């Protein structure tokens, strides 16, 4: 059994400790708000379009607050068991394995549920008792009530731009959180971020950011979203690796944003206009 135990131990979710300061360019008072929420043990909701820096912000805060970080990317098949834990078979016995949420609750970590609206509605309900003053996680299968360690903090993110009723957050869930708004940074800041992340020249970064702005103008005209900061960074990396600017943008931005030939052609037009 000891060998089985060792295997299981290796299977237990790993808590990420962020040793080096992640690069994060503050847009306003979000870090101070987050810290205050951490002190007062309030859960935090990060709202904003995809690729604008929400995940990076959480990593930065985890580093700053010196807490382990557990990140769960939510999807529509995510079940309660995936978050809380499940019994596994070891030989002829069953062994309990904590899910990432339970592990974070016990260890006093920051648990970050990325794109929480993607998860099934019945799944999100398990976070309710964690997100109010009770700060407990009921583990039904074990009949256990796990009390959150003092450092535990629940952070969820969601993208209000989806506009889909199926992807809306229930009031009963959202009204438990302190909400922080995120958006793409102002052009100068965004250019500085792109330049810093990729090491490309400032003028090239500015051109990429200008292109980002043009694609965001197309939102709702066949595009669900314009190019995110993340996509601009991808394009910057390709350029830094020696790919010509136009090809880099067509691959990292044009093709990434749309599939329809018409839309891709329009994006290529904008790329050709900028470079």
Binding footprint of other proteins on the chain (CB under 8 A): 79-82, 86-87, 89, 92, 94, 120, 141, 163-167, 186-187, 210, 213-215, 217-218, 221-222, 246, 262-263, 265-266, 269-275
3-class DSSP state for residue 113?
Answer: strand
Give the residue with the Cβ less far from other proteins, 107 or 223. 223
Give the residue with the Cβ less far from other proteins, 173 or 215. 215
| Residue corresponding to tokens 């601009």 | 232
Q: How many CA atoms lie within 13 A of 273 on its CB side?
A: 12
Query: By C-alpha distance, which of 238, 152, 163 is closest to 198?
Result: 238
3-class DSSP state for residue 212?
Answer: helix
Query: By C-alpha distance, which of 131, 127, 111, 130 is closest to 119?
Result: 127
Give the residue with the Cβ less far from other proteins, 201 or 272. 272
Minimum distance, C-beta of residue 100 to other proteins, in the bound complex (Å): 15
Burial class of 221 by CB neighbour count within 10 A (0 to 12, 13 to 18, 19+) = exposed
Minimum distance, C-beta of residue 217 to other proteins, in the bound complex (Å): 4
Give the residue with the Cβ less far from other proteins, 14 or 269. 269
Give the residue with the Cβ less far from other proteins, 43 or 100. 100
Minimum distance, C-beta of residue 75 to other proteins, in the bound complex (Å): 14
Q: Are 63 and 107 in contact (CB under 8 A)?
A: no
Helix/strand/coil (H, E, C) string of 163-190? CCHHHCCCHHHHCCCEEEECCCCCHHHH
Give the residue with the Cβ less far from other proteins, 55 or 215. 215
Minimum distance, C-beta of residue 64 to other proteins, in the bound complex (Å): 25
Minimum distance, C-beta of residue 67 to other proteins, in the bound complex (Å): 29
Is the dihedral angle over the CA atoms 192, 193, 197, 200 positive or is it negative?
negative
Is the dihedral angle over the CA atoms 37, 229, 64, 147 positive or is it negative?
positive
Give the residue with the Cβ less far from other proteins, 28 or 149. 28
Query: Rounded to whole angstroms, how far apart are CA atoms 127 and 173?
Result: 8
Minimum distance, C-beta of residue 38 to other proteins, in the bound complex (Å): 26
Q: Show the tokens assigned to 102.
A: 């339970």
> Dihedrals φ, ψ of 153, to 5°?
-145, 135
Minimum distance, C-beta of residue 183 to other proteins, in the bound complex (Å): 10
Minimum distance, C-beta of residue 209 to other proteins, in the bound complex (Å): 9
Give the residue with the Cβ less far from other proteins, 132 or 140. 140
Query: Rounded to whole angstroms, how far apart are CA atoms 230 and 235?
Result: 9
């Amino acid at each position: 059994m000891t060998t089985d135990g060792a295997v299981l131990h290796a299977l237990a979710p790993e808590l990420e400790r962020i040793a080096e300061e992640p690069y994060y360019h503050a847009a306003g008072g979000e870090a101070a708000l987050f810290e205050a929420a951490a002190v007062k043990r309030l859960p935090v909701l990060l709202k904003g379009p995809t690729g604008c820096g929400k995940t990076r912000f959480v990593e930065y805060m985890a580093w700053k607050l010196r807490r382990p970080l557990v990140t769960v990317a939510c999807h529509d098949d995510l079940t309660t068991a995936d978050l809380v834990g499940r019994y596994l078979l070891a030989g002829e016995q069953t062994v309990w394995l904590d899910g990432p949420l339970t592990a974070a609750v016990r260890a006093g970590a920051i648990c970050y549920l990325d794109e929480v609206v993607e998860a099934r509605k019945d799944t999100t309900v398990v976070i309710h008792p964690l997100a109010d003053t009770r700060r407990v996680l009921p583990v039904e299968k074990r009949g256990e009530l796990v009390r959150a360690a003092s450092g535990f903090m629940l952070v969820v993110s969601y993208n209000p731009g989806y506009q889909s009723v199926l992807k809306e957050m229930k009031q009963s869930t959202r009204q438990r959180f302190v909400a922080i708004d995120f958006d793409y940074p102002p052009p100068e800041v965004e250019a500085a971020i792109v330049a810093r992340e990729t090491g490309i020249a400032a003028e090239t970064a500015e051109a990429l950011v200008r292109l980002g702005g043009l694609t965001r103008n197309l939102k709702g005209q066949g595009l669900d979203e314009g190019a995110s900061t993340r996509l601009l960074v991808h394009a910057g990396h390709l350029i830094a690796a020696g790919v010509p600017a136009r090809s880099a943008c067509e691959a990292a931005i044009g093709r990434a944003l749309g599939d329809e030939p018409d839309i891709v052609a329009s994006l290529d037009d904008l790329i050709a206009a900028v470079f």
